[in-house]
């Protein structure tokens, strides 16, 4: 059964300035990395004098292997100074495919597989960084099936 429940959209996205914590981790350490980074970022952003301007982001750089190069960040209203954990990062602007996944995070890897196949079927090439925008926040009493995650994949035309 396909997991893409609606048609992905080809659109244009603006570049965004993020405060980011980035690491290369194993898949079994991914949740712990996210929890730790999301715990640290708001205080680091506040102490820098910047403000959070939107929902959190999760970024993936390159293609995963046995490990995954990931970042966790928030869009901010300036360029954060580098610390031991936090660094500035600007998402690329331009043409992108977006898709709103509604449901459990556990299905995201299969959603990505279908989305990347859709991108290839449309003669597009994905960029080096892909990100998720967490439009709903998980809470202990939230139903995982109610989560909305927007996936953003920068693309260019196949040569």
pLDDT in tens, 103-131: 877 788 888 999 999 999 999 999 999 99
- CA 152 to chain CA centroid, nearest Å: 7
Reported as a pLDDT band with limits 50, 70 and 90, residue 147 is confident
Q: Which of 40-49, 78-87, 107-116 has the lowest mean pLDDT?
A: 107-116
- 67, pLDDT greater than 70: yes
Looking at residues 3-10, what average pLDDT do you find?
Answer: 85
Instruction: Say what the pTM is.
Output: 0.91
Separation between Cα atoms, residue 78 and residue 11, nearest integer Å: 25
Cβ partners under 8 Å of residue 46, min gap 6: none
Can you say how many angstroms the Cα of residue 149 is from the centroid of all Cα atoms in its chain?
9
Domains of the chain: 1-14+92-159 (3.20.80.10), 17-90 (3.20.80.10)
User: ∠ at Cα 38 (35, 39), nearest 5°?
Assistant: 80
Give the pair of three-digit tokens for residue 142.
């939230």
């Amino acid at each position: 059964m396909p997991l893409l429940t609606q048609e992905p959209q080809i659109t244009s996205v603006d570049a965004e300035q993020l405060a980011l914590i980035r690491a290369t981790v194993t898949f079994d350490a991914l949740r712990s990395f996210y929890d730790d980074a999301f715990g640290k970022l708001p205080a680091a952003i506040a102490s820098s004098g910047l403000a959070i301007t939107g929902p959190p982001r999760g970024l993936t750089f390159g293609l995963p292997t046995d490990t995954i190069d990931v970042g966790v960040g928030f869009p901010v209203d300036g360029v954060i100074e580098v610390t031991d954990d936090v660094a500035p990062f600007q998402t690329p602007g331009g043409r992108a495919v977006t898709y709103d996944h509604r449901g459990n995070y556990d299905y995201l890897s299969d959603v990505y597989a279908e989305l990347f196949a859709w991108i290839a079927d449309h003669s597009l090439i994905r960029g080096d960084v892909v990100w998720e925008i967490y439009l709903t926040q998980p809470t202990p009493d939230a139903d995982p099936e109610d989560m909305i995650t927007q996936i953003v994949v920068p693309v260019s035309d196949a040569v």
